[in-house]
């Protein structure tokens, strides 16, 4: 399956900040990223709750391919939640509003199986600033943000092992 490797990720946090509508082109940090395989038990349950069996290998590959960026976004949000709280709530509201209207979500609720990984790309596109939608750095960072929110149970079918919400006003 996937090799267990601890990666050091270098992410340009100016891209994350631009998604939050801020500019800071000099922000670069190095983050120790936990191995993907260490997170598989929780993710496996999450994948099984949100995708039909034939889609599960694809979503596992999507998570694996984006893991370093997901963990880097996790670090950034954890360290900077208070500074970007309004932007994070706005992003979450945008994701919730869109997710409730996808054709497969016939109940119009947030706690509903994702069913199709294409929604991660569609949701990512929603949070990229205008003028940056064709920039692959922004697409990868936005996708990592969407996958981070999915991993934390902020949309899609929730599982018992989801970490507590990072959004205190929603608790």
CA distance 145 to 158: 17
CA distance 60 to 157: 16
pTM of the model: 0.81
Average pLDDT across the chain, whole number: 84
Determine how β-strand 7-12 pairs with β-strand 28-33.
Answer: antiparallel
How many C-beta atoms lie closer than 10 Å to residue 41's C-beta?
A: 10
pLDDT of 29:
55
Cβ atoms of residues 95 and 127 within 8 Å: yes
Nearest CA to 129 out of 94, 98, 155, 156 is that of 94
* Each residue's pLDDT tens digit, 8-33: 455 666 667 666 643 333 445 555 56
Q: Is 32 exposed, middle or buried (0-12, 13-18, 19+ CB in 10 A)?
A: exposed
């Amino acid at each position: 399956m996937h090799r267990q490797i601890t990666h050091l990720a270098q992410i340009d946090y100016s891209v994350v900040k631009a998604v939050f509508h801020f500019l800071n082109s000099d922000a670069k940090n190095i983050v120790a990223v936990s191995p993907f395989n260490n997170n598989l038990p929780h993710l496996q349950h999450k994948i099984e709750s949100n995708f039909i069996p034939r889609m599960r290998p694809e979503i596992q590959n999507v998570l694996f391919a984006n893991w370093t960026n997901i963990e880097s976004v996790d670090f950034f949000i954890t360290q900077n939640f208070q500074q970007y709280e309004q932007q994070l709530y706005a992003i979450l509201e945008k994701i919730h509003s869109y997710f409730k209207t996808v054709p497969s979500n016939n109940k119009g609720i947030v706690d509903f199986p994702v069913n199709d990984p294409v929604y991660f790309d569609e949701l990512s596109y929603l949070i990229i600033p205008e003028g940056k939608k064709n920039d692959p750095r922004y697409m990868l960072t936005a996708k990592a943000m969407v996958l981070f929110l999915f991993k934390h149970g902020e949309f899609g079918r929730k599982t018992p092992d989801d970490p507590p919400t990072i959004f205190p006003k929603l608790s």
